[in-house]
Amino acid sequence: MDSSAIDQANKANQANQASLENGEPLLDEQYSEKRLISLVAICFLTQGISQHFSLLSQPLNSFLKDRLALSAFDMSCFFAVLMLPWVIKPIYGIICDTIPGLGRGRLAYLFLGNLVTALFYICLAFCFGAHDQFANWLSARWQALAIVILLFLGSTGMALVTVVTTSLSARSQFSRRLFGLQGFNYYLSNIPALVLGGYLAKSIAIGSPVQAYLVMSGALVLAALPALVTAVLLWRDMRREGRLFQDFILSRKENEVSLFSLLSAEALSSMRGFFSERQLKATLIFLALWNFSPSLGTGLYFYERNILKFSPELIANLAAASSLGMLIGSLLFGLVNKRFHLKWMAAWSILASVLYVFLEDPVIAYSIEFFRGFSLSIFTLFLYSLAAEVAPAKNNAFAMALFICFYNLANELGMVLGGFLYSTLCERYLSGSILPLIAVSVATTLLSLFCIPFMKKE
């Protein structure tokens, strides 16, 4: 057993001792492991459907492009705003590290996250359902703003759920197994969700305006249902058992911790030490450069729609093929992760970007998307595992949230840059070619290689 496993085992023993001192029941270790696995599984099955870039992705793309006539740059900014809840994850991490959550640990955050998502999705569904007032009272720009505000609030719940489940996985003795389980369950539900989203997007593109609004309303209800069911299940468990895992067994003293404790000298000193570690800073920069891929954003969507004349349904099926590759990659992750080196991963990632040069017809597109999905799944899970290894135990949720923040922020900046380059350069001067986007993606991947020597432990 390695040192990290020993430390975690000691923490579990201390938690058990604290629970005995407080007169609380001792939870069986194997039982806790099974419940943790089931919790991670159901949360990521839900996310594979309810996240705004899952079932709602293609209907939203089609509605914004075909009904509201937004440009590639406008749409890239739109989706970048929707990803802000994923960018500010460190805030959620700080809260999870300091406030137990209604006395029931992090289980309460999972319940609230799913509930918030379901409620705001249903609220927006009512707006689309009342299409006469929604369309007549608001211009296209104001409709887009209303959509982004409500989806932003709904996405906040999903982001919170991701922070909590990722933190629990990182703290576990079988973190790599749980990361693989996350990917498997997410893509398992994501594939049918994307296919269904493609059919809905086709109806939005070719149907009447009234039909487009009603289809969007139905899509939002379908996306809200898994989150609502998960929230109900979590509420039932909280009422029945109160606390489910050893991670949630908190002493009375820990229950008194508040957010204001972050202002204490000890907490600030801990944060300064956290950011002073060379290995951690190098990992953050590496993740940011690695995921800066404008060739995979809104520019690619416009290229496929306007230049290659792909239908919304075909594009959704291509996304499903990518998710299928991710599903297989998550299954094989446990077998190949120890055989990977970051330099080989960089070469593989560059190949996945360069393949888009040959994107011409659906057959080639399916092959490229499957290969990209397979590669992306293994790379992402490997990078999560790498981040878990350097994340300090004391600020675990904050550290993992910060890593994911940099990862997502780079992706969103790349998407905005990709939309801007495509609208101002590719469409105007290069007949819609995506070569500049591919070049930027390859260049940033090469830059990430300079971080690798600094990521090694001294």
Query: Mind listing the domains of the chain with CATH numbers?
Result: 30-455 (1.20.1250.20)
pLDDT at 444 (0 to 100): 83
pLDDT at 97 (0 to 100): 64
pLDDT at 348 (0 to 100): 79
Rounded alpha-carbon distances, angstroms, from residue 201 to 54, 63, 208, 295, 311: 12, 8, 13, 22, 9
Residue 134: its H or E element: helix 131-137
Q: For 361, phi and psi rounded to 5 degrees? A: -135, 170
d(CA 445, CA 286): 9
pLDDT at 363 (0 to 100): 92
pLDDT at 351 (0 to 100): 84
Query: Two tokens at 440?
Result: 């930027």
- List the pLDDT tens digit at each of the 458 positions of the chain: 333 333 433 444 444 444 434 433 333 343 367 777 888 888 889 998 998 888 998 899 888 888 888 888 888 888 888 888 877 777 776 676 666 544 345 677 888 899 999 999 999 998 888 776 666 676 777 788 888 889 999 989 998 888 888 777 766 666 667 777 777 788 888 889 988 998 899 888 888 888 888 899 999 999 999 999 999 988 887 776 555 444 444 434 444 444 445 444 444 555 555 566 677 777 777 777 777 775 667 888 889 998 999 988 899 899 889 888 888 887 777 666 555 666 777 777 788 888 898 998 899 999 999 988 888 777 777 776 766 666 665 555 566 667 777 777 787 788 888 888 888 888 888 888 888 888 888 888 888 878 777 765 54
pLDDT at 352 (0 to 100): 83
Query: Two tokens at 165?
Result: 């489940």
d(CA 243, CA 164): 15
pLDDT at 379 (0 to 100): 76
